[in-house]
């Protein structure tokens, strides 16, 4: 046990105080004895009950010195809400969808104009904004929200608008998405393939969704404009090939109105770093 040496002549200790040799040990006392403090025996102070830690025996009582936290007690003093506490707010936002635009972050007033002009028929109640480009659209009734979710794809300046139903556990952060709708222009498609064959040709790029009106009505013939589903980061061919009914090879040029690629430099979407 550590001992602090005190001179019997009551000479104050300082850095130059001589440490007694073996023959002087009878003249030494524990500092605790000099100050009248009972000796703390750590071996006797250790609790015999597991998980309660060290105790200091003082005046016949066990005084905790360090408490070991067990799993059952770890969160007993943390504020916790019940489902009833958040029921009202959850019910309020349950009529909402979470949205963001891949490759764009327009101002609040532009987004608000877009929502009320394009989605007004669904009964929009309000548009709420976050600073990270996410906006929430609340509808007056839940069936109106469901009607929007089932109405197909929406684009903002040819960029996909990601629309997801709100839920109370959702993280309001942008995701990269997985499958996104993209309009493509197929140049050089012979007119005899503008009917049902056009969807198969578009399938060489992605999953066919629909033709635009001018293509479906065969009014604009300089290119066929088709909406397809593409995977983020997939290969984007600029030419596709197929064989006609006589076995002749036909080449079709493909242009993308928005490219589902991530920019390494800015972490945005719709362009590469060049």
Share of the chain above pLDDT 70, in %: 66
pLDDT band with cut points at 50, 70 and 90 for residue 48: very low
For the chain, the straight-line distance linking the first and the last C-alpha, in angstroms and rounded, comes to: 73
Average pLDDT over residues 18-27: 46
C-alpha–C-alpha distance, residues 264 and 236, integer Å: 17
Is it the case that residue 12 has pLDDT exceeding 70?
A: no
Is it the case that residue 251 has pLDDT exceeding 80?
A: yes
The reported pTM is: 0.56
Return the bridge partners of 187, or none.
Answer: 253
Is it the case that residue 42 has pLDDT exceeding 70?
A: no
pLDDT tens-digit readout, 156-203? 988 889 898 998 887 777 765 578 889 999 999 999 999 999 999 999
- Count Cβ atoms below 10 Å from residue 185 Cβ, excluding itself: 16
Q: What is the mean pLDDT of the chain?
A: 77
Strand-by-strand arrangement of the 207-211 sheet? 207-211, 224-231, 179-187, 249-256, 239-243
Q: What share of the chain is helix, strand, coil (3-state, %, to 5)?
A: 20, 25, 50
Average pLDDT over residues 77-102: 91
Tokens of 52: 């309660």
Q: List all residues 6 or more positions away from 210 whose beta carbon is below 8 Å from its beta carbon.
A: 226, 227
pLDDT tens-digit readout, 51-76? 444 444 445 555 455 555 555 555 56
Is it the case that residue 18 has pLDDT exceeding 70?
A: no
- Nearest residue to 117 (alpha-carbon basis) of 134, 87, 101, 137: 137
Q: What is the pLDDT of residue 146?
A: 94
């Amino acid at each position: 046990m550590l001992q602090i040496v005190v001179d019997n002549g009551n000479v104050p200790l300082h850095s130059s105080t001589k440490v007694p040799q073996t023959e002087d040990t009878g003249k030494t006392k524990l500092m605790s004895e000099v100050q009248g403090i009972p000796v703390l025996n750590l071996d006797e102070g250790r609790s015999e009950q597991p998980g309660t830690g060290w105790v200091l025996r003082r005046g016949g009582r066990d005084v905790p010195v360090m408490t070991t936290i067990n799993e059952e007690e770890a969160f007993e003093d943390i504020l916790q809400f019940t489902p009833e506490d958040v029921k009202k707010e959850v019910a309020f936002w349950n009529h909402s969808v979470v949205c963001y635009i891949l490759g764009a972050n327009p101002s609040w007033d532009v987004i608000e104009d877009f929502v009320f002009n394009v989605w007004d028929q669904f009964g929009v109640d309000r548009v709420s904004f976050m600073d990270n480009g996410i906006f929430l659209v609340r509808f007056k009734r839940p069936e109106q929200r469901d009607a929007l979710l089932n109405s197909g794809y929406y684009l903002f300046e040819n960029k996909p608008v990601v629309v997801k139903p709100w839920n109370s556990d959702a993280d309001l952060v942008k995701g990269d998405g997985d499958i996104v709708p993209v309009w493509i222009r197929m140049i050089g498609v012979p007119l005899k393939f503008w009917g049902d064959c056009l969807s198969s040709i578009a399938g060489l790029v992605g999953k066919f969704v629909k033709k635009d009106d001018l293509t479906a009505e065969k009014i604009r013939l300089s290119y066929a404009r088709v909406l397809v589903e593409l995977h983020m980061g997939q290969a984007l061919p600029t030419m596709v090939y197929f064989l006609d009914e006589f076995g002749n090879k036909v080449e079709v040029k493909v242009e993308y109105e928005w490219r589902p690629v991530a920019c390494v430099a800015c972490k945005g979407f719709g362009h590469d770093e060049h």
